[in-house]
Structure 1
Amino acid sequence: MSYQRGWDALHLHMPDTIPHTEYCSHPRLVKAVTGLDPREEPSAWRRFYEATQYDLLWSTDDGPGWTGRTTNMGHAVFQEGGTDYDPNVQCPFASPDEVLAFDPAEEYGVPNVRERAAYLQQGWEAAQAALPSLVLTGGYYKTLFSACIQAFGWEMFLTAAALDHERFDRVLEGFFQISMANYQAWARTTAPVFICHDDIVWSSGPVFHPNWYRRYVFPRYRKLWEVLKDAGKTVLFCSDGDFTPFLEEIADAGADGFIFEPLTSLERVVELYGQSKVIIGNVDTRILTFGSREDIRREVKRCYDLGRNCPGFFHAVGNHIPHNVPVENALYYLELISGEYGRR
């Protein structure tokens, strides 16, 4: 593990060994590795990152939460003890017409770029200083699609967007204005790497017709990412689901790399961009959860065989390592990627 190994891979200078990152929320795994429970001792996370050889840490910061109407879609259980369960489902929008009349910029406000930049710089700089052995990203979570999900919930979002494309475009423009101010603020910080998160697809692929994305989403990505790239940032695109059909559009808009679930084709990513993009993933978390040791070895080898000759490839589980992954399975995965399948 080293900052340098992560930095080299992010800049397509192939390290001698394969770098590693995860999005992990598994406290029993952390305790098994470090002897410390992160729910009681926050320093356990840093020790976990060091012990499991993280070179990059996934991080986003959207600033203070929105003040205004948002939807709560509830939450199913995956955390130990069901602490994340939320049966409270509420949407403040009574009809699609209310959504189509909504102005996000007016409701939530567009942040002052200078003030937001100072806020983001302070937070990122402190976090990076506390984790000097790895590259800490900046990033923004609810870029466009995810902003709509948070504001309206899936039902109102999909109904309103399909009802009137042009009126909904005006709604998207409001979210774009908010995101642009945040992206401009991030561009002013010293964070060298930025994650653009936006859950634009489902497990089955695109939610809307591909032409909808090409008209309303990807041109806005290009504008957002230009701000970051003009400031010298590396831009990584991250989405759940299967965005294989959009790999070329996302790359053309300016993404320097991809963070993706096993639903998106690693084979296709490597075929198109194995030598020219950062590639993070995509060991299947379902196999870690339900598979045998041989299943896990086979899955790690699949990713290793595809990614080992790609200069920007990172080992990672897609989409993350939650509480319900058996600890022994997660430990075996970590053993494989740091040993036999960590070498070029």
Structure 2
Amino acid sequence: MGFKEGWQAINMQMPDAVPRTEYSAHVHWELVEKVTGIDTKKIENRDRASAAFIKNWDFSLLWYANIHKNYLERFGKISNMGHAVYAESSAGGSDKDENTSVLFKDVDEALALDCTKFYGEFDQSELIATYEREYEAMCRDYPDTVNMGGVYITLVSGLTYVYGWEMFLECMAYEEFDRVMQSYYEWVKQFYEAFAKSNVPVLMMHDDITWTSGKFASRAWYDQNVLPYLKKLLEPCKRAGKKILFTSDGNYGEFTDAIVDCGADMLFFEPHSDMEGFAKKHGKTHGFVGDVDTRVLLSGSKEDIEREVKRVMEFGKRYPGFVMAVGNHIPPNTPVDNALWYDEFYRKYRAR
């Protein structure tokens, strides 16, 4: 298992066994140490331990995006929404951040933002080199999985870093915000144009376009300010023959047809999305990833975890582009035994 099966799934070629990816299990240090035997309490061992874990757990895809909020911060400023505790930080302690701040306190000032001027233009050759350099490093460190590059801050995700959620939602009430959305699209497209010129074959387009409950604005707003831009951003990458993967948090089931129309080849789902419904409609032509419920791993019994894996496998393995994953993440507070049971049952049921 590994690269071959992942590439087959992306290309809708029905691997003999269901391939797999996970999003943060390789930094669940207690689990990683249990699986690999490498002492992860020593920070200097962690990169090697993660690589050994990814190989041991047969990752066929490794989720990755190059372009994060640091590109917004290069020439401008952003808001800080803070961060709840998720994991141990690389320097010890936790990643909790209570230092919240907002870039704009006045709506008129916020609506005057021109993203192209405020956040600047990057040299295309440097962006291409970044994509290719990081991809080559990933292929060296994780040779048995499909590696990729991508953009995390595509539209909604980027602008919520800029404004914070409260100001973002307030600005949406004004027609002037449509111009801000367009200016952000004009700014972020430089990263997609550069990716199209790179030699990296797989692109991750990430944009958190929904909440857990679904859309946060009217469908008409999305049809004007989000979906057309997603499609335009992908056009150069599609022309260049890239394989397009799409990820959003929350329940974006209402938009999956549109995301397919935008050019995505494979969609990543969290448990509250209707992955089975997507499979029935698009599963013969498009790949999909998910959607074992992380809550079952957090608090379920061994029997609960087996039932959950069987539930997903029973419909997923009918489709050539299905990739198993726990959505949303296997966080560091997941009991190690529960994660190991999940791995046991994945291996038990993965053969087609």
- Would you call these one fold, judging by a TM-score over 0.5? yes
Q: Which residue of 2 aligns with 1:143?
A: 154
Query: Cα offset for 1:112?
Result: 2.3
Deviates more, 1:263-272 or 1:75-84: 75-84
Whether the aligned pair in 1 keeps the contact of 2:288 and 2:322 (CA below 8 Å) is: yes
Q: Which residue of 2 aligns with 1:108?
A: 119
Q: Which residue of 2 aligns with 1:15?
A: 15
Whether the aligned pair in 2 keeps the contact of 1:274 and 1:310 (CA below 8 Å) is: yes
Query: Cα offset for 1:82?
Result: 5.9
Q: Which residue of 1 aligns with 2:110?
A: 99
Between the aligned partners of 1:118 and 1:51, the Cα distance in structure 2 is 31
Query: Cα offset for 1:128?
Result: 1.5
Query: Cα offset for 1:228?
Result: 0.7
Answer yes or no: is 1:68 the counterpart of 2:76: yes
Between the aligned partners of 1:226 and 1:306, the Cα distance in structure 2 is 32
Query: Cα offset for 1:174?
Result: 2.0
Query: Cα offset for 1:143?
Result: 0.1
- Secondary structure, aligned partner of 2:331: coil
Q: Which residue of 1 aligns with 2:239?
A: 230
TM superposition score normalised by structure 1 = 0.96
Between the aligned partners of 1:192 and 1:92, the Cα distance in structure 2 is 36
CA-based RMSD: 1.4
Answer yes or no: is 1:160 the counterpart of 2:171: yes
| Paired amino acid for 1:155 | E
| Paired amino acid for 2:22 | E
Between the aligned partners of 1:21 and 1:111, the Cα distance in structure 2 is 32
- Secondary structure, aligned partner of 1:157: helix
| Paired amino acid for 2:278 | V
> How does 1:1-344 map onto structure 2 within 5 Å?
1-24=1-24, 25-38=27-40, 39-41=43-45, 42-62=47-67, 65=71, 66=73, 67-80=75-88, 83-162=94-173, 164-165=174-175, 167-338=176-347, 340-344=348-352
Identity, in percent, stands at 42
Gaps of 5+ in 2: none
Name the structure with the higher strand share.
Answer: 1
| Paired amino acid for 1:274 | G
Whether the aligned pair in 2 keeps the contact of 1:14 and 1:312 (CA below 8 Å) is: yes
Whether the aligned pair in 2 keeps the contact of 1:112 and 1:181 (CA below 8 Å) is: no
Gaps of 5+ in 1: none
Query: Cα offset for 1:333?
Result: 0.5
Whether the aligned pair in 1 keeps the contact of 2:131 and 2:200 (CA below 8 Å) is: no
- Secondary structure, aligned partner of 1:315: strand
Q: Which runs of 4+ in 1 moved over 4 A?
A: none
Distance 1:98 1:257, change over 3 A: same
Deviates more, 1:273-282 or 1:119-128: 119-128
| Paired amino acid for 1:36 | I
